[in-house]
Structure 1
Amino acid sequence: MTDYDNFQGMRSKRTLEIWKMGIVNYLDALKLQEKLASKRKLGVITDTLLSLQHPPTYTLGKRRTYHNLLIPESELSAMGANLHYTERGGDITFHGPRQAILYPILSLREAGLGARKYVENLEATMVRLSSLYNVKVHAGESGQTGVWVGERKIGAIGVRISSGITSHGLAFNIDPDLSFFKHIVPCGITDKGVTSLRMEAEMELPEDEVIHEQLVSCFTQLFGYEHVVWKDRSFFP
């Protein structure tokens, strides 16, 4: 049986292929998303979820809100951080170690979802994960995407949808170095703070890898996948 035959067999179920990638340079992850999104548009791969972390990285959305970077770009390298420009929605944000990132490459048409419901499902994924640690979070209000503990943001969302195929996704703060957020206006919101699961949970947390896998599990449940295939770093060239 060929790989194509296997893929056609999986399509009879709602199938998600999950790539556990560890720490990945932002540009490498961006190029991979573009490649996978093109393949998904052609229907030659199934829905795919990238689960990873980034080195310290600031990203700007397609609105290019440079004013929300509060230090000169020339100072970022001295901090060990980079700045990248993207075509996702949303404002400036930070990605770094000890942050769980999911980049779904999905067909919204096959999932039967509109853009708004898709974003709501991403928010619900982080709400469900937080509940495992008795942390009460809520989705943003008045057009503010992401999830919050009171007035403190714990999970950010920035998505791109092209021809009904998604890329980019969500970032959930497990225990990143929150000092990096002091150099930006996170998501363009001036009057609210940032927090993490470590700061909010009144219990000992497991290893980050366990929390990454729990986040993926919450995602697969909410999006209704019937068949899940895991691939770890040994799969990648």
Structure 2
Amino acid sequence: MRTPRTLEVWKLGTVNYLKSLKLQDKLVSERKANRIPDTLLSLQHPPTYTLGKRRTDHNLLIPEAELKSIGAELHYTQRGGDITFHGPHQAILYPILSLRSIGFGARSYVEALERSMIEFSSLYGVKARAGNKCETGVWVGDRKIGAIGVRISSGITCHGLAFNIDPDMKYFEHIVPCGIADKEVTSLRRETDAQLPSEEVIHEQLVTCLAKVFSYDDVVVKEDPSVILNILEDDD
């Protein structure tokens, strides 16, 4: 009989990107040592561009010196994938999971993240699809609605997915999103005729879809972000 699996979900609100990186590093160490269960961070970032480990700087179309004038930051990461944008009105999920414990390989993990966003999109009558190997993420026709960039270290995941609820699309004009020059970026607001609930509800629905796709038996939601964010201060 399979051991019941629990996913611990932290609702963090808006978190500075560098703080989220530091938090993920800490949680990955804790998960490797089996001191915490599979954990999911649900959050948003202030306007931020991030580059993956391939360092495709040429896909940033605005001089780095001008980023401050548009209220955005640029950060380099060790995740896979190309350049992307994170900002307000975007649902970001960072799973800190043990792939061994759930029996997933790297490819099946990415595909499960895609299915989570596809299932969520269907709640609003949006027919989304997974990309191919060169176009990872989730698409509505030829318009990208959800991005994926992950890092896996000793079988433990970090980084994750970003789903566009209703972000300011002007920020995407300053990059070649995910390195794909001939495709548009879209959002749930643009693709559905349905009335959208609060963004908190949308985050919760996306988390529920992910937990279902990954076959978690129990989801424990943590409401107080200060509890988990304080572990960073303890290290300082």
* TM norm structure 1: 0.94
Q: Does 1:167 pair with 2:152?
A: no
Per-residue deviation, 1:228: 1.4
Show structure 1 runs of 5+ residues with no match. 1-10
Q: Does 1:91 pair with 2:82?
A: yes
Count how many residue pairs are aligned between Structure 1 and Structure 2.
227
Aligned partners of 2:10 and 2:225 also within 8 Å: no
Amino acid corresponding to residue 179 of structure 1 in structure 2 = K
Aligned partners of 1:58 and 1:84 also within 8 Å: yes
2:116 to 105, 112, 125: 125
The 5 A counterparts of 1:83-232 are: 83-232=74-223
Q: Does 1:66 pair with 2:57?
A: yes
Deviations 1:128-163 (A, max 9, x none): 000000001100124211000111100000000000
CA–CA distance in structure 1, aligned partners of residues 17 and 10 of structure 2: 15
CA–CA distance in structure 1, aligned partners of residues 23 and 4 of structure 2: 25
Deviations 1:157-213 (A, max 9, x none): 000000000000000000000110000000000000000000000111111111000
Q: Does 1:47 pair with 2:38?
A: yes
Amino acid corresponding to residue 227 of structure 1 in structure 2 = D
Identity of counterpart residues, as a percentage? 70
- SS state at 2:20 partner: helix
* TM norm structure 2: 0.94
- Counterparts in 2 of 1:177 and 1:107: CA distance versus 1, 3 Å: same
- Counterparts in 2 of 1:234 and 1:31: CA distance versus 1, 3 Å: closer
Per-residue deviation, 1:234: 5.2
Show structure 2 runs of 5+ residues with no match. 231-236
- SS state at 1:215 partner: helix
Deviations 1:8-62 (A, max 9, x none): xxx9520110000000000000000000000101111100000000000000000
Moved over 4 A (4+): none
Amino acid corresponding to residue 10 of structure 2 in structure 1 = W
CA–CA distance in structure 1, aligned partners of residues 169 and 140 of structure 2: 15
Q: Does 1:82 pair with 2:70?
A: no
Deviations 1:73-104 (A, max 9, x none): 00001110000000000000000000000000
Residues 12-21 or 175-184, more deviating: 12-21
RMSD: 1.1
CA–CA distance in structure 1, aligned partners of residues 213 and 133 of structure 2: 23
Amino acid corresponding to residue 61 of structure 2 in structure 1 = L
- SS state at 1:83 partner: strand
CA–CA distance in structure 2, aligned partners of residues 234 and 113 of structure 1: 29
